Amino acid sequence: MKTIVTAEQIPLIIKRLAYCIAENHPDLANTVFIGLQPRGVYFSNRLVQELNEVYNANVKYGQLDITMYRDDIHRGIHIPKTTKIDFSIEGKNVILIDDVLYTGRTIRAAIDALMDFGRPEKVGLCVLVDRLLTRELPIQPNFVGKTVDSLYSDKVLVHWTETEGKDEIILID
């Protein structure tokens, strides 16, 4: 087990991501942000706080639960959380936000779930951790905090002060 991102590095990474997103999406009127429940929301809350600073405006921000759209729903191991999207995504650039990208199945489900709310112009993806060579679907992120080269059997844990008492990213091999 080793720490791959420290508490000191996390705010710097989030700041970099916010600037990078703002540089690529200057038209805030057409850009909205959606954090994925459950654990992507801890990350999206932090990122949106930073985005509000960088844009000097409150960005449109919602949270999406993808449980009912998962391809392993029959296993019944995920408990649905709240979806809250109180704005239109029709014709908008939507940026999905999650903590870890591994097989890509969560993002596949998120794209399906999102389409129930309208037809976006484009859908992008921002992840705090992009695990390399573990994808089971052709899904790639647009904005990445940290790339992690790991074995398929490894586990990456993103810890937050709010839930685990400390911000850090850990690799369990």
Ligand X SMILES: O=P(O)(O)OC[C@H]1O[C@H](OP(=O)(O)OP(=O)(O)O)[C@H](O)[C@@H]1O
Ligand Y SMILES: O=c1cc[nH]c(=O)[nH]1
Under the rule (CB under 6 A), what is the footprint of ligand Y? Answer: 100, 102, 155-156
Residue 159 contacts ligand X per CB under 6 A:
no
Helix 40-55 with 9-24: angle, nearest 10 deg: 60
Report which DSSP code applies to 112: H
40 binds, among ligand X, ligand Y, none (CB under 5 to 8 A by kind): ligand X
Phi, psi of 79 (to 5 degrees): -95, 125
String of DSSP letters for 11-62: HHHHHHHHHHHHHH---GGGEEEEEETTTHHHHHHHHHHHHHHHHTSPPEEE
Q: What distance in Å separates the CA atoms of residue 155 and residue 7, rounded to the nearest whole number?
A: 19
Residue 104 contacts ligand X per CB under 6 A:
yes
Q: Pick the binder of ligand X from 17, 94, 95, 99 (CB under 6 A).
A: 99
Residue 96 contacts ligand X per CB under 6 A:
no
The nearest distance, CB 44 to ligand X, in angstroms, is: 11
98 binds, among ligand Y, ligand X, none (CB under 5 to 8 A by kind): ligand X
Q: What distance in Å separates the CA atoms of residue 169 and residue 154, rounded to the nearest whole number?
A: 13
- Which H helix or E strand runs over 152? none
Residue 32 contacts ligand X per CB under 6 A:
no
Cβ closest to ligand Y, residue 112 vs residue 154: 154
Q: Pick the binder of ligand X from 48, 51, 95, 98 (CB under 6 A).
A: 98
Stretch that binds ligand X, among 1-9, 57-65, 92-100, 141-149 (CB under 6 A): 92-100
Report which DSSP code applies to 82: -
Q: Which residue has the tokens 């839930």?
A: 163
Residue 52 contacts ligand X per CB under 6 A:
no
Cβ closest to ligand X, residue 40 vs residue 120: 40
Residues of this chain that interact with ligand X (CB under 6 A) are: 36, 39-40, 98-106
